[in-house]
Amino acid sequence: MTELQSALIGNSAAAPPAHIIEGLEDAIAHQRIEGAPHTIYEELWHAAFWQLLALDWIEGVESSYPVHNEESFPDTADVTAETWPALAERFLAGANQSAAIAGDQGRLDNVVRCTDKPGLPIRKKSVRDLLESTAAHNQYHLGRIVLLRQLLKTWPPPSGGETW
């Protein structure tokens, strides 16, 4: 497994994503903590949103870039439509798809078209750049999820995680 693949699905800079989100019930995933801007569910939904956008671009689908950041977080209808287990499964499927692409060395230097905010031109990035950005973004939000789990006294997860 390459370091990029490990950053996407493995035990790289932190516990594997599958461990970070395991063992949570819907109620905990949706629990609000005073002072925290988002729930665990919302953090993961946001990461899954951007991960899918990057995967679309890699596959040649010019999906729309959100006009405002709030569009990359779930609204009430989104939350109602997808349970926590379904969201976790969707996120992990996207992470695994990203890792599989990262393992295809012949594809990493391919340049793909990426949409931007309305009125801005199409950007061009390598598949490697998109996957590195996805890994960094996922790790950022997974770190926020770890902190929320710590505050909710649900850390470490059943498969273990860093506790120091």
pLDDT digits (tens, 9 = 90+) for 2-48: 999 999 999 988 899 999 999 999 999 999 999 999 999 999 999 99
CATH number of the domain where residue 19 is located: 1.20.120.450
Query: Does some domain include residue 88?
Result: yes
Beta bridge partners of 125: 112
Query: Does some domain include residue 71?
Result: yes
Query: Does some domain include residue 158?
Result: no
Query: Does some domain include residue 159?
Result: no
Nearest-angstrom CA–CA distance, 138 and 8: 8
Query: Does some domain include residue 79?
Result: yes
pLDDT digits (tens, 9 = 90+) for 94-138: 999 999 999 999 999 999 999 999 899 999 999 999 999 999 999
* Burial readout 70-93 (b: 16 or more C-beta within 10 A, e: otherwise): eeebbeeeebeebebeebbebbbe
CB 152 within 8 A of CB 32: no
Query: Does some domain include residue 162?
Result: no
Our count of domains for the chain comes to: 1
Band of pLDDT at residue 57, cut at 50, 70 and 90: very high
Check residue 161 and give its pLDDT: 74
Check residue 83 and give its pLDDT: 98
The parent domain of residue 136 ranges over 3-151
Which pTM value belongs to this model? 0.96
Band of pLDDT at residue 164, cut at 50, 70 and 90: low
Structure tokens at 75: 């609204």
Query: Does some domain include residue 103?
Result: yes
